[in-house]
Homo-oligomer: A and B are copies of this chain.
Amino acid sequence: MAAGIKPSGALDVGLLVAERPLTWAGAFTRNPAAAECVNWNRAALGRRARALVVNSGNANACTGSAGRNTVEATAAATAGLIGCRVDEVLVCSTGPIGVPLDARLIETALPSAACSLGAEVEDFSRSLLTTDTFPKVSTSSASGASVIGVAKGAAMIAPNMATMLAFLGTDADVSSDDLRAAVDWAVDRSFNRLCVDGCESTNDSVLVLATGNGPKLGPQELRDGLLEVCSDLALKMARDAEGATKLVRVRIEGARSETHAVELGRAVARSDLWRAAAHGADPNWGRVLAAVGAVDRGLVVGTTSVAIDDELLFAKGEPCGLLAVAAAAMSGDEFTVTVTLDQGDAVAEVLTADLSEEYVTLNAEVTT
């Protein structure tokens, strides 16, 4: 529904209703300035859920007791409408921080939203969007069960949780414990390996609901199913980051642990200088090495190499390769920068996007 929260009149309230209470699990921002809706959902962990209400256009974060009241009023209105307990309603918000959100806008829109149940998932996914330019929907059935997910990203994209909302549903028949573990596992390997502007938000949430109508899945099958959808959504978020013109894969090889590899990957992924170079297709690999060295004080430059796609540009302590070949690789809409260390066997890939003038323009405007 378009409830009027977004001044543009675009879709800004989405409602997801289950026929009966569902097992669910979630992962949330670790920011102590978390929005009241995040606190609300956290408190609901362990209970079953019947409905999810989401609004875009206002994060309802740092809005004090009025913000709390809005969350409660939204949940109560939804519960009254569909006939469930108030604590079976999950609430998510995304948009500017610190702007009062009038609960009546959502309450007024909810009845029409309830009448639209059964609409295309793309309409629901559109109701989440802020500065995203396209809706993000992914599906998988590789694990035997069906998994579907929708997400919004755009700005404030950083670990933990890559500042975003993602909602996944599956028909898998799984225990609450297995679901919780699988969500953490999949989020850690997907959204937490997406780092665009390094800014963590107050509203990040990934919620996964399971109907249990489908096949029983073992723990690893469930993880794989969720990871496939989460990874694809993360990729779509990187491609659609604010102002982004290209996807940049930062690959770290030869690290002493996967955690270490992810840490170094994030350091490169959040380097403004490197992301600006990526925007200009400038194979400025020195900025990559500088970013790695800024977090890995034990880096040995002489045994570290840097490559853009297949073109090795720095190895054995010396520049090498053809910058023109690397520049050509960077000119497309996707490329990989690989840093290879000599510290172990661990590998990780972190996704980011280039830093463009448009990112600045979008975020200098009052008020996204």
Chain A positions near chain B (C-beta within 8 angstroms)? 30-34, 59, 61-66, 96-100, 155-156, 158, 197-202, 270-273, 276-277, 279-280, 282, 284-287, 289-294, 296-301, 313-314, 316-319, 327, 355-357, 359-367
* A319 and B64 within 8 A (CB): yes
Q: Can you name 19 A-B pairs with beta carbons within 8 Å?
A: A33-B289, A33-B290, A33-B299, A62-B301, A66-B318, A97-B286, A97-B289, A98-B284, A99-B319, A156-B290, A197-B272, A199-B271, A199-B273, A199-B290, A272-B272, A272-B363, A276-B359, A279-B360, A279-B364
A146 to B147, CA, bound (A): 71
* A31 and B293 within 8 A (CB): yes
CB of A94, distance to nearest CB on chain B (Å): 12
A149 to B61, CA, bound (A): 46
Q: Quick one: which of A158, A287, A289, A313 has the most chain B CB within 10 A?
A: A287
* A286 and B98 within 8 A (CB): yes
Copies of this chain, tallied across the complex: 2
CB of A125, distance to nearest CB on chain B (Å): 24
CB of A155, distance to nearest CB on chain B (Å): 7
A360 to B270, CA, bound (A): 14
* A289 and B62 within 8 A (CB): yes
* Dominant secondary structure at the A interface: loop
* A198 and B272 within 8 A (CB): yes
Known A-B contacts A97-B289, A273-B156, A294-B199; A32 and B301 likewise in contact (beta carbons under 8 Å): yes
Known A-B contacts A355-B360, A360-B359; A273 and B197 likewise in contact (beta carbons under 8 Å): yes
* B199 and A291 within 8 A (CB): yes
- For the complex of A and B, 10 pairs with smallest distance between CB atoms: A97-B286, A280-B364, A276-B363, A64-B318, A357-B357, A33-B293, A200-B294, A31-B293, A98-B286, A32-B299
Q: A158-B294, A276-B363 are in contact. List 5 more A-B contacts (CB 8 A).
A: A98-B314, A199-B290, A277-B364, A327-B366, A357-B361
A320 to B214, CA, bound (A): 50
